[in-house]
Amino acid sequence: MDPTAQTTTTTTQPPNKILENLKVKIAAANLPPDVAEKIHDEMTRLELVFKTGQFTVEFDRQINYLNFITELPWNKAGQDILDLNRAKQVLDKNHFGLEIIKGRILEFLSVMILNHMKGQVAKQPILAFVGLVGSGKTSIAYSIAEALGRPIIRIPFGGLGSALQLRGESRVKTEAEPGLVLRALKRAQVKNPVILLDELDRVTESARADIMGVLVELLDPEQNMSFLDHYVNFPFDLSQVLFVATANNTGNIATAVMDRLELIEMPFYTDEQKVVIGRDYILPEALKSAAIDPRFVQIVPQVWLNIVRPLGFDGGIRSLKRHIVNMVGKIARQLVEGAKGPFIINEQNVQQYLAT
């Protein structure tokens, strides 16, 4: 009997073709020697299974595993853009004010640049931005990645319920998956991305101790050179990853993790600052995203206070962004329905644009 007739693989390709493609991927993957040796053994076993024609779910699982291994950036690093003036321009473009925070980021990058010039890797604490929801913590991390020219992958910790979600599960388990950290590396396709550990304080109470234990290993340069994901079952060098963290507060973060973080407090925004952020940053971006010519939209200066504080004081800017995006959405609908504009938002009609 043709062995391909018995396959239970989820792909439409015949198993012999799958194996051929996998061999090509393995040969091109530039795997570390110890990993390459083990993967060669795994491929040999797969070929024996193929020859017997006894295909099982395990065959599929093994194919998925080998594909994941070959797609990890074992030896592929991206080239940093180490230009302090450019970094300053990126920070100023993306963020109004925050001069102390921007200054600290530029100092952090300066140490990276000096170490790079001497062929060294800078050993610095992990920057951790702490503050209210909507205070700009996450967007600051994205700006750091943009300044360096690195891809950024966000790992959300809100509701994280098991350390295995970070570290992966052993393939002994039928439904085993790699952990969030190595999945982030696979998505980034370089071994030196920015990984954003978002909302460290929001993990579930029952799993907090175990998750904090994995975090200590992730953030410790003496340990993360050989991070072991249980699914991959080979140490992976995370020493070139730039970790950045955020938290709403530090009360639920373990002391051992705190020792590896440099806490940077995000400020409250005043109404005056939020007017500038809304007018000069959020509104232009929202209009661009909606493909609306900004010349068609005018907001009378006096109504900006209604926009930044429609429901009382809020120190963050998340609700401000939501209100402006909703306003732009209403203008977009009017345009599609035939209105010609220009659209002038004033004290008489602002509430109809703010209504949700």
What's the pLDDT tens digit per position in 242-270?
A: 999 999 999 899 999 999 999 999 988 88
Which stretches of the chain are assigned E, i.e. beta strand?
126-130, 152-156, 194-198, 227-228, 235-236, 242-247, 261-265, 297-299, 343-345
Which spans in the chain are helix H?
15-28, 33-52, 57-71, 84-94, 99-117, 137-148, 164-167, 180-188, 208-219, 255-258, 271-277, 283-289, 304-308, 318-336, 350-354
Name the 3-class secondary structure at 258.
Answer: helix
Q: Is the peptide bond before 342 cis (omega within 30 degrees of 0)?
A: yes
CATH 1.10.10.60 matches 84-265:
no
65 neighbors 178 (Cβ within 8 angstroms): no
Q: b/e map of 134-146 (b: 16 or more CB within 10 Å)?
A: bbbbbebbbbbbb
Residue 160: both structure tokens together:
């994280």
Rounded Cα distance between 48 and 250, Å, is: 54
Count of helices and strands (H, E) across the chain: 15, 9
Residue 60: both structure tokens together:
């599929």
Rounded Cα distance between 125 and 263, Å, is: 9
Task: Please name which of 133, 139, 141 lies closest in space to residue 244, comparing C-alpha atoms.
Answer: 141
Residue 17 has a pLDDT of: 78
Rounded Cα distance between 266 and 136, Å, is: 8
DSSP state of 225: G
Q: In what order do the strands lie in the sheet with 194-198?
A: 152-156, 194-198, 242-247, 126-130, 261-265
Rounded Cα distance between 130 and 121, Å, is: 26
Rounded Cα distance between 223 and 214, Å, is: 10
Matching residue, tokens 């200066």: 301
Residue 54: both structure tokens together:
């006894």
Decide which of 3.40.50.720, 1.20.1250.20, 1.10.8.60, 3.40.50.300 is the CATH code for 271-354.
1.10.8.60
Domain positions in the chain are 3-71, 84-265, 271-354
- pLDDT tens, residue by residue, 75-119: 999 999 999 999 999 999 999 888 999 999 999 999 999 999 988
Instruction: Name the band, by pLDDT with cuts 50, 70 and 90, for residue 231.
Output: very high
- State the average pLDDT for the chain: 88
Instruction: Name the band, by pLDDT with cuts 50, 70 and 90, for residue 6.
Output: very low
**In the predicted structure, residue 313 carries a pLDDT above the cut 70:** no
Matching residue, tokens 């004010």: 97
Instruction: Provide mean pLDDT across the span 267-283.
Output: 88
Q: 154 forms bridges with which residues in the sheet?
A: 196
**In the predicted structure, residue 148 carries a pLDDT above the cut 50:** yes
